[in-house]
A and B are shown apart, each in its own frame.
Chain A
Amino acid sequence: MSQISAAGQSHGVGADHPALRSSNISMAPGAGTGLKSAFIGLGVLGLAVVAIGWFKDSTHALASLHVGVITAITICLGATFFVLIFNLVNAGWVSTFKRQYENVMSLLPIVSLLMIPVFVLDYLKGGALFTWMSSAAHGDVILEKKAGFLNPMFFYARSAFYILLWAYITSTLRRLSLEQDRTGDKWLTAKARRTSAWAILVMALSASFAGFDWLMSIDFKFFSTMWGVYFFAGSAYVGTATMILILALLRRAGKMEGAVTSEHFHDLGKLLFSFTVFWAYIAFSQYFLIWYSGIPEETAFFEMRLKGAWPMVGAAVIISHFALPFVIMLFRGIKRNPTTIAFFAIWSIAAHVIDMFWVVRPVVHVANAADPVGWGMIWIDAGAVLGVLGVLGWLIVGKVTSGPLVAVNDPRLGESLDHRNYV
């Protein structure tokens, strides 16, 4: 018996590890205040721009706000997904920074509440964004067939249900992790794994349907079985990017030295790279199958995005979301250097914003033949995205600075501290 446990490799590590000294893994009181102010300043400014935009072109402002809110939600969804996966596969290398994933994860239900203003404004505008709610769509033959699903009552109830589910899952996982900080009970890790098992099933279904409801349904005639996977691929991508950015900023602030090293950035960079490719695979498959078959009820989705200047935006999506980062992030040095990989993290978030812009905005402005993209008022989009992301950044900085940066009693900390790529 003793021999068997000797064969298993224990990675218990004490708090005396130099990387885990208190000054390295906790923020000084008041730290991050400047960044917090900058973020909330950006948030208020951006949202003020949206408010001005609302009086200029309310439909445009509503759609812009939606792009920002969806981007923020996908960031938190991506973080949640990775927490679940790390728990499920007993990942060891992430232990020093999993807390940061949990921080972003715990914001998911709060950020999802930003859908409420979108719903309210959409209601005030009589379904300008969710066009199936508009009076213009009333009596549409296709809409009537799906009215059992696309009706306001059920729609709002579903949205509330997703947010409640997410609140329960994310708060449970966070509670287990924080409890481990206090008690040091290693079995909480096993408990988190068991919770994650059913949670990932629930998240897969709820996130897919949220993708259907909040994105696909704005063009209610369009349908694609791939949509949930597309939504997930973008979320996982932008979630990883945000994590790299947070860790690079913490390293820049002189924290997590020896706890998050080039080895971790290297592997996180590989994850970002692989989700660049995975997203491209999903996006291409969806496009390609619709293009090849050429069934009008499906091609309308892309047809709409081939009008006016929209092809330029589409090309920007392909280049920024896949072609360019694919070629550059292949290089090992780019992934191992916190500065260059942080650059690509920001780049990826921007690419994801363009993707969401390409998904949401054509639906509301395609009617304007002269300027279907709405370049004239693109400042509303910029304000909305920066505003919402400013609020998200403010929330994230608040979370990050609220406690220790590392889950200090994670039983696999040793593995993460020893993490090496070797090749």
Chain B
Amino acid sequence: MSSIHPDQVTAQHLAGLSRLPDRGTPAPGTGDGSLIDDPSVRSPLVLNERTFKEVTDIVCGYAENKPGKWWLPALIISGSIATLGGLAILYLVITGIGTWGLNNQVDWAWDITNFVFWIGIGHAGTLISAILCLLKQKWRTAVNRSAEAMTIFAVICAATFPGIHIGRQWMAWFLPPIPNANNIWPNFKSPLLWDVFAISTYGTVSALFWFMGMIPDLATLRDRADMRLRASKSGPTIAPFIPIRVDAVRAYIYGFLSLGWRFSSRHWHRYEAAYLVLAGISTPLVLSVHSIVSFDFATSILPGWHTTIFPPYFVAGAIFGGFAMVLLLLIPARELFPNMKDFITLRHMENMAKIILVTGSMVGFAYTMEFFIAWYSGNEYESHVFKFNRALPTWISDKGAPYWWAYWAMIFCNVLSPQVFWMKKFRTSPTAIFAVSFLVTIGMWFERFVIIVTSLHRAFLPGEWGMFFPTAVDITTFIASCGVFLTLFLIFLKFLPVFAIAELKAVMPQASPHHHHEGHAHGGGDHSKGGHH
């Protein structure tokens, strides 16, 4: 026990992952105290009047202590699912793309659907870290780190799919324009090549943003490990009979990653400047990446793919699906990690639910425009796609769309289900938000499936009509990508600082120059056993 912290009391609440005492009861009608409706009052962003010290202890505690009992089983399950994907990909590489359900008519299906799905997921992280930063939205500080992590893991999952789709995977290095002996270049006129640039830029900038933001917190973890090493001659070792202390490993790895950060004013000044520059660079990136993904389809002349609203519509959908995923991850996390609800309050939940409602309605707006203009254009192929290839159920008309269920699943999940957030009761209930986020995630996968497969499955001649049926390899690869994503996220939760500690502190009342130095700010000694200082 005492290895975690030299002070016994602090060590206990850290090592036992106990919940710190609540201070005060929230005013009635404000949920956990954050749902203040009064327009003259800003809701607190950190609850229970945590002190700066407590914030550091809580956030570092997630990385320093044994995780809850759920963590290892969850990691094993998701890791196993991820491994299955490795096997599926191995089988694919050995056998060929024919192991997927692609056929002459539908020659692009789950592979590209999954790619767009995962790329979209990442956009919430970039929006939170870049656009919400420029808009000075203070509530972002509680969710930015985990959302940015999620962005990177989503990009990793996304990049896999085009990588394995190229047929001869060992030639994947031909994707970037590398000068070579045979003078073989990729087609610069193809949006698929722009995707290579867009995604690699996106991945690089997101990773830099994420990593740079973590440096001060990694240094905190390093210093804490170092302090424990100095405070005591003995402590837990990495394995029985091997006299290397865990804290020594921590001090080394976190020390390596923190790049010599010393918390000096000069470091902070450069950090802030770099942060703003990266936020400025990432903001057009949020819009450009999914716009270019939309070009994959919209530059074609295929009815259902070629429409001018695609770029902003894809961006809105990406943010929509991304926020749903952030919520799917954070709602369980704030239940499972003690004291996390002090940082991710019901107000944070409500704000994200509102973003889901807004972006869901934007997506609904785009669906409406597509449908209306398809009719208004007077182009019968356009209107045919929407009416007969997507919306009209087969049980209403023989001419109906065999994929009608996919279209209506999309409408239900993406447009209708978020509308419950018009009611405060639902947008402040983590259960309801979780349920809607789950539906939205499904709906956004279906959206890509609908766009891609229903547009392809019936070409201009009835002789070119076909259906797509996924094979076991298709299904396994997709499920495994979810496994990869979850595995990476679980590892992140355990080993890295899940919150930006300094940013969290900056939005607490103590950080305000107008804060009065009386009362709770200095850490109430009245209720703790004196271990907090």
Residue positions of A touching B, CB distance < 8 A: 1-12, 90, 92, 141-142, 145-146, 149, 186-187, 189-190, 193, 197, 201, 204-205, 208, 212, 223-229, 270, 277, 281-282, 285-286, 288-290, 292-295, 297, 411-412, 423
Residues in A with CB closer than 8 Å to B366 are 225
Chain B positions 87 through 128: 1 when the CB is less than 8 Å from some CB of chain A, otherwise 0: 000000000000000000000000000000000000000000
Residues in B with CB closer than 8 Å to A288 are 295
Q: Is the CB of B301 within 8 A of A293?
A: yes
Residues in A with CB closer than 8 Å to B307 are 225, 289
- CA A201 – CA B364 in complex, angstroms? 11
Rounded to whole Å, the gap between the CB of A20 and the closest CB of chain B is: 16
Pick 17 A–B contacts, CB within 8 A, sort by A: A1-B25, A4-B24, A7-B509, A8-B43, A9-B41, A186-B39, A223-B373, A225-B366, A225-B370, A225-B373, A226-B308, A270-B134, A281-B312, A289-B299, A293-B298, A293-B306, A297-B379
Q: Is the CB of B40 within 8 A of A412?
A: yes
Q: Is the CB of B378 within 8 A of A3?
A: no
Q: Is the CB of A3 within 8 A of B376?
A: no
Chain B positions 26 through 42: 1 when the CB is less than 8 Å from some CB of chain A, otherwise 0: 11101001001111111
Q: Of B40, B44, B272, B370, which is in contact with the most chain A CB atoms at under 10 Å from its CB? A: B40
The residue of chain A having its C-beta at the shortest distance from the C-beta of B364 within the complex is A201
Knowing A6-B519, A224-B373, A225-B373 are in contact, say whether A146-B40 is a contact too (CB < 8 A): no
Residues in A with CB closer than 8 Å to B519 are 6
Q: Is the CB of A4 within 8 A of B422?
A: no
Q: Of B300, B312, B512, which is in contact with the most chain A CB atoms at under 10 Å from its CB? A: B312
Q: Is the CB of B39 within 8 A of A190?
A: yes
Chain B positions 352 through 394: 1 when the CB is less than 8 Å from some CB of chain A, otherwise 0: 0000000001000110111001011111000000000000000
Question: Which 7 pairs across A and B sit closest by C-beta, in order of nearness?
Answer: A411-B40, A225-B309, A226-B308, A145-B378, A189-B39, A3-B24, A7-B44
Contact of B272 among A6, A208, A423 (CB under 8 A): A423
Residues in B with CB closer than 8 Å to A204 are 365
B520 part of interface (Cβ distance < 8 Å)? yes
Q: Is the CB of A5 within 8 A of B373?
A: no
Residues in A with CB closer than 8 Å to B25 are 1, 4
- CA A168 – CA B253 in complex, angstroms? 62
The residue of chain A having its C-beta at the shortest distance from the C-beta of B311 within the complex is A285
- CA A299 – CA B398 in complex, angstroms? 36
- CA A281 – CA B295 in complex, angstroms? 13
Q: Is the CB of A142 within 8 A of B309?
A: no
Knowing A4-B27, A6-B519 are in contact, say whether A11-B42 is a contact too (CB < 8 A): yes
Q: Is the CB of A190 within 8 A of B37?
A: yes
B243 part of interface (Cβ distance < 8 Å)? no
Residues in B with CB closer than 8 Å to A6 are 519-520
Knowing A1-B25, A226-B309, A297-B377 are in contact, say whether A292-B41 is a contact too (CB < 8 A): no
Residues in A with CB closer than 8 Å to B361 are 201
Q: Is the CB of B365 within 8 A of A205?
A: yes
Contact of B39 among A4, A5, A90 (CB under 8 A): A90
Knowing A146-B376, A223-B376 are in contact, say whether A295-B39 is a contact too (CB < 8 A): no
Residues in B with CB closer than 8 Å to A149 are 376
Contact of B306 among A2, A186, A286, A289 (CB under 8 A): A289
- CA A12 – CA B301 in complex, angstroms? 58
Residues in B with CB closer than 8 Å to A289 are 295, 298-299, 306-308, 310-311
The residue of chain B having its C-beta at the shortest distance from the C-beta of A212 within the complex is B376
Task: Identify 17 new A-B residue pairs, CB closer than 8 A, beyond the known A8-B44, A223-B377, A293-B301.
Answer: A1-B24, A3-B24, A7-B509, A8-B36, A8-B42, A186-B40, A190-B37, A205-B365, A205-B368, A227-B308, A285-B310, A286-B308, A289-B308, A289-B311, A293-B300, A412-B39, A423-B272
B residues 249-302 near A (Cβ < 8 Å) are 272, 276, 284, 287, 291, 295, 298-301
Residues in B with CB closer than 8 Å to A9 are 41-42, 509, 512
The residue of chain B having its C-beta at the shortest distance from the C-beta of A281 within the complex is B287
Q: Of A145, A223, A270, which is in contact with the most chain B CB atoms at under 10 Å from its CB? A: A223
Knowing A190-B39, A208-B369 are in contact, say whether A225-B23 is a contact too (CB < 8 A): no
Knowing A5-B41, A8-B41, A9-B509 are in contact, say whether A290-B24 is a contact too (CB < 8 A): no
- CA A130 – CA B276 in complex, angstroms? 48
Rounded to whole Å, the gap between the CB of B90 and the closest CB of chain A is: 38
- CA A2 – CA B24 in complex, angstroms? 8
Q: Of A186, A205, A289, which is in contact with the most chain B CB atoms at under 10 Å from its CB? A: A289
Q: Is the CB of B40 within 8 A of A3?
A: no
B247 part of interface (Cβ distance < 8 Å)? no
Interface residue tally on B, bucketed by range: 35 or more
Chain B positions 296 through 340: 1 when the CB is less than 8 Å from some CB of chain A, otherwise 0: 001111000011111110000000000000000000000000000
- CA A186 – CA B47 in complex, angstroms? 25
B64 part of interface (Cβ distance < 8 Å)? no
Residues in A with CB closer than 8 Å to B272 are 423
Q: Of B28, B33, B134, B377, which is in contact with the most chain A CB atoms at under 10 Å from its CB? A: B377
Q: Of B26, B43, B311, B378, which is in contact with the most chain A CB atoms at under 10 Å from its CB? A: B378
B49 part of interface (Cβ distance < 8 Å)? yes
- CA A223 – CA B377 in complex, angstroms? 6
Residues in A with CB closer than 8 Å to B378 are 141-142, 145-146
Rounded to whole Å, the gap between the CB of B198 and the closest CB of chain A is: 14
Rounded to whole Å, the gap between the CB of B189 and the closest CB of chain A is: 9
Residues in B with CB closer than 8 Å to A225 are 307-309, 366, 369-370, 373
Residues in B with CB closer than 8 Å to A295 are 301, 306
- CA A10 – CA B295 in complex, angstroms? 47
Residues in A with CB closer than 8 Å to B310 are 285, 289
Residues in B with CB closer than 8 Å to A12 are 40
Knowing A225-B307, A297-B377 are in contact, say whether A3-B512 is a contact too (CB < 8 A): no
Rounded to whole Å, the gap between the CB of B211 and the closest CB of chain A is: 21
- CA A410 – CA B111 in complex, angstroms? 53
Q: Is the CB of A186 within 8 A of B38?
A: yes
Residues in A with CB closer than 8 Å to B368 are 205
Residues in B with CB closer than 8 Å to A223 are 373, 376-377
The residue of chain A having its C-beta at the shortest distance from the C-beta of B291 within the complex is A285
- CA A145 – CA B380 in complex, angstroms? 10
- CA A130 – CA B493 in complex, angstroms? 61
Q: Is the CB of B39 within 8 A of A281?
A: no
Q: Of B276, B287, B308, B378, which is in contact with the most chain A CB atoms at under 10 Å from its CB? A: B308
- CA A355 – CA B83 in complex, angstroms? 55
Q: Is the CB of A229 within 8 A of B312?
A: yes
Knowing A9-B509, A186-B38, A285-B311 are in contact, say whether A197-B422 is a contact too (CB < 8 A): yes
Q: Is the CB of A4 within 8 A of B44?
A: yes
- CA A189 – CA B42 in complex, angstroms? 13
- CA A149 – CA B375 in complex, angstroms? 10
Residues in A with CB closer than 8 Å to B291 are 281, 285
Residues in A with CB closer than 8 Å to B306 are 289, 293, 295
Rounded to whole Å, the gap between the CB of A14 and the closest CB of chain B is: 12
Rounded to whole Å, the gap between the CB of B145 and the closest CB of chain A is: 20
- CA A106 – CA B286 in complex, angstroms? 34
- CA A224 – CA B276 in complex, angstroms? 36
Residues in B with CB closer than 8 Å to A90 are 39
Q: Is the CB of A4 within 8 A of B30?
A: yes
Q: Is the CB of A4 within 8 A of B33?
A: yes
The residue of chain B having its C-beta at the shortest distance from the C-beta of A270 within the complex is B134
Q: Is the CB of A7 within 8 A of B49?
A: yes
- CA A423 – CA B277 in complex, angstroms? 11
Residues in B with CB closer than 8 Å to A205 are 365, 368
Residues in A with CB closer than 8 Å to B33 are 4, 7
- CA A11 – CA B39 in complex, angstroms? 10
Residues in A with CB closer than 8 Å to B42 are 8-11, 92
- CA A407 – CA B172 in complex, angstroms? 61
The residue of chain B having its C-beta at the shortest distance from the C-beta of A286 within the complex is B308
Q: Is the CB of A285 within 8 A of B49?
A: no
